[in-house]
């Protein structure tokens, strides 16, 4: 009896240690990220005034092609394109890819902008469904519309890449609301390190609650919906802390599909966006890392902390849950597709830190944490675990979580100051505390659902959630 009991206690503490060490590794990495993010902001501080950026960079910026995929957007397309054409950048073209819409998306554009079918000599290097026609107007020389057969977002972007003639392209979602100076801000690393920089991401913010007119966020205001509020804090943590820090370490493996700037030729060399994955934005960046490391070429994948793009976040539990499950599945698909890069010395810090980070945060993390929620209180309740373990677990899941969230908010307020008032800051601070009790746990369950879907190799997009880009 005694033997059995001590064995049980040993087993319980082993489980507890696994849970605690995994959580601690995550927390430790977050703290490191905070430090790196702080350094990044100090070394390359965000520029507040856009006219200053113009004066500084305008005569030295490379042309950019903005690639905007559109599927069944007839209501909003003219407004979105007008707002894209109003971007503040010296030299750019807007390429709208009508991905076989079933509604009048193409007709709306032709009528409103006075477009006519044109011929253009374009590349055929990356794969996509056939292009049916190209449309342009001499009165709007920056606009080109590509009409193609439906193939999904990756497919539409690939067509845009082939048609683009600029050295850089910027891929966006149909429902991305860009800041006027987004391109001017994001191009900065390409100006500062023209030979090394191959891709740049930027901060995505949540538009819910803000005043929006004609495809622009005019005034930043907080939403009243709890889920939208929590996501504001989550996005701050993901972009201002995690991605900024990872780029400072030069191990960034994701650039959001809502806004990313890429060197066109290199994306062509890796075959463009992959078909048949839900995480095509992450997968592209991983392919670029692999390509450059395989060729032993020096390069940089960078990130700028300034908000460049706003997106409408899901504000119901069901839709948010589906989105998170899909993100989780996307991360897993990319991770396992490129698993040979993990801890592979050939891929240097990408293999160790970049993929190691994905392993801890996206692969092992959610499983172990959910395991902890059940086992730790249970084992303590039946007397198999000392109370110290329970407190350590609470520290990892709750109090360190509060620290990391509030610290991200501090970074935002010190360096960017994009929120409207002291009142908003108080609300966000309270949310950063509250989200650790309940919301965080639920997101972990959603991630497990993503895990399950990944294992079952569930195909397709399921019920599509975004009001913007949809695919068949």
Partner 1 sequence: MTERKTILVCDDDPLLVDLLEYRLSSRGYGVAVTRDGGEGLAWLKENRPDAIILDAMMPVIDGYEVLRHIRENPETADIPVIMLTARKQERDIVGALELGANDYMVKPFIPEELAARLSRLLEGK
Partner 2 sequence: MSALGELWLVSLVLSAVAVLIMMGLVIARWIGVRRGRSREAERRRLIPLLLGIERSGGDYGQVEKAADLLADLATELIEMVRGEDKEAFIESATRLGVPERLQHRLDRGSPRVRLAAAEALGFFEDEKSIARLRGALDDPNPDVRLAAAISLASAGHAPPAVELVEKLGIGTRENSALVVGLFRDIAVKHPDEIRGLIESEQVNGRVKAAAIEALSASGDYSLVPLVANLVLAADPDAEELPRYLRALGDFGHPAAARAVHHALGSKLWWVRSAAAEAAGRIGLNDVAERLRTLLSDPVWWVRFRAAEALIRLGDEGRELLIATAESGSEPACSAARLTLAERGLV
Instruction: State which of positions 242-271 bind partner 2 (CB under 8 A).
Output: 265
Shortest distance (Å) from residue 8 CB to partner 2: 19
Say which entry of partner 2, partner 1, none residue 265 contacts (CB below 5 to 8 A, set by partner kind).
partner 2
Structure tokens at 419: 């929120």
Binding region for partner 1 (CB under 8 A) out of 14-22, 83-91, 151-159, 221-229? 83-91
Binding region for partner 2 (CB under 8 A) out of 112-120, 215-223, 228-236, 441-449? 112-120
Instruction: State which of positions 124-153 bind partner 2 (CB under 8 A).
Output: 124-125
CB atoms within 10 A of CB 284: 27
131, 191, 238, 464: which one binds partner 2 (CB under 8 A)? 191
Is residue 193 within the footprint of partner 2 (CB under 8 A)? yes
Convert residues 430-449 into a mask of x (bound to partner 2 by CB under 8 A) and - (unbound): ---x----------------
Asked if 163 and 121 count as a contact pair (C-beta separation under 8 A), the reply is: no
Q: Give the separation between CA 401 and CA 386, rounded to whole angstroms.
A: 23
Is residue 9 within the footprint of partner 1 (CB under 8 A)? no
Q: Give the separation between CA 115 and CA 106, rounded to whole angstroms.
A: 10
Asked if 298 and 244 count as a contact pair (C-beta separation under 8 A), the reply is: no
Is residue 20 within the footprint of partner 2 (CB under 8 A)? yes
CB atoms within 10 A of CB 458: 15
Q: Which is nearer to partner 1, 86 or 430 (CB)?
A: 86
8, 9, 18, 44: which one binds partner 2 (CB under 8 A)? 44
Write b or e for each residue in 353-371: b if 16 or more Cβ atoms lie within 10 A of its Cβ, otherwise e. bbbbbbbbbbbebbebbbe
Shortest distance (Å) from residue 414 CB to partner 2: 7
Asked if 333 and 229 count as a contact pair (C-beta separation under 8 A), the reply is: no
**Sheet of strand 177-178, all strands in order from the earlier edge strand to the far edge:** 116-118, 131-136, 143-148, 92-99, 64-70, 168-172, 259-263, 197-206, 300-311, 177-178
Considering CB under 8 A, how many residues would be counted as binding partner 1? 21
Which residue intervals of 44-170 are DSSP H helices? Answer: 50-57, 77-85, 105-113, 153-163
Asked if 108 and 78 count as a contact pair (C-beta separation under 8 A), the reply is: yes
Is residue 48 within the footprint of partner 1 (CB under 8 A)? no
Convert residues 134-173 into a mask of x (bound to partner 1 by CB under 8 A) and - (unbound): ----xxxxx-------------------------------
Question: Strand, helix or coil at 209?
Answer: coil
Q: Which is nearer to partner 1, 84 or 206 (CB)?
A: 84
Residue 348: exposure state from Cβ atoms within 10 A (0-12, 13-18, ≥19): middle
Convert residues 191-220 into a mask of x (bound to partner 1 by CB under 8 A) and - (unbound): ----------------------xxxx-x--
Binding site for partner 1 (CB under 8 A): 51, 54, 58, 82-83, 85-86, 88, 90-91, 138-142, 180, 213-216, 218
């Amino acid at each position: 009896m005694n033997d059995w009991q001590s064995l049980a206690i040993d087993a319980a503490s082993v489980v507890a240690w696994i849970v605690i060490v995994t959580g601690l590794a995550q927390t430790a990495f977050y703290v490191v990220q905070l430090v790196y993010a702080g350094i990044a902001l100090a070394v390359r501080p965000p520029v507040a005034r856009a006219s200053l950026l113009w004066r500084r960079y305008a005569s030295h910026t490379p042309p950019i092609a903005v690639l905007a995929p559109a599927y069944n957007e007839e209501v909003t397309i003219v407004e979105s394109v007008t707002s894209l054409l109003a971007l503040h950048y010296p030299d750019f073209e807007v390429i709208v890819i009508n991905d076989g819409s079933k509604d009048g998306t193409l007709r709306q554009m032709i009528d409103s902008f006075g477009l006519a079918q044109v011929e253009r000599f374009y590349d055929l290097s990356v794969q996509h469904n056939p292009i049916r026609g190209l449309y342009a107007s001499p009165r709007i020389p920056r606009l080109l519309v590509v009409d193609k057969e439906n193939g999904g977002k990756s497919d539409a972007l690939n067509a845009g890449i082939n048609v683009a003639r600029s050295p850089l392209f910027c891929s966006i979602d149909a429902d991305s609301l860009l800041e006027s100076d987004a391109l001017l801000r994001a191009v900065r690393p390409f100006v500062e390190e023209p030979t090394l920089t191959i891709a740049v991401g930027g901060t995505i913010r949540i538009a819910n609650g803000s005043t929006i007119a004609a495809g622009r966020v005019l005034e930043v205001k907080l939403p009243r919906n709890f889920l939208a509020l929590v996501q504001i804090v989550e996005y701050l943590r993901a972009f201002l802390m995690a991605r900024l820090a990872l780029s400072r370490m030069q191990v960034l493996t994701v650039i959001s599909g809502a806004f990313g700037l890429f060197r066109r030729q290199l994306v062509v060399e890796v075959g463009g966006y992959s078909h048949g994955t839900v995480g095509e934005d992450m997968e592209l960046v991983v392919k670029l890392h692999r390509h450059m490391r395989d060729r032993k070429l020096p390069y940089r994948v960078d990130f700028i902390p300034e908000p460049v793009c706003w997106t409408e976040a899901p504000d119901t539990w069901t839709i948010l849950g589906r989105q998170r499950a899909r993100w989780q599945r996307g991360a897993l698909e990319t991770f396992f597709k490129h698993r040979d890069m993990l801890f592979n010395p050939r891929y240097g810090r990408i293999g160790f830190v970049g993929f190691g980070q994905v392993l801890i945060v996206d692969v092992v993390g959610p499983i172990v944490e959910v395991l902890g929620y059940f086992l730790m209180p249970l084992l303590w309740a039946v007397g198999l675990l000392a109370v110290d373990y329970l407190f350590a677990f609470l520290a990892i899941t709750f109090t360190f979580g509060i620290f990391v969230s509030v610290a991200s908010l501090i970074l935002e307020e010190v360096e960017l100051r994009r929120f409207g008032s002291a009142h908003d800051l108080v609300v966000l601070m309270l949310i950063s505390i509250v989200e650790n009790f309940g919301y965080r746990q639920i997101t972990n369950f959603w991630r497990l659902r993503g895990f399950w879907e990944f294992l079952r190799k569930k195909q397709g997009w399921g019920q599509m959630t975004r009001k913007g880009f949809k695919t068949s």
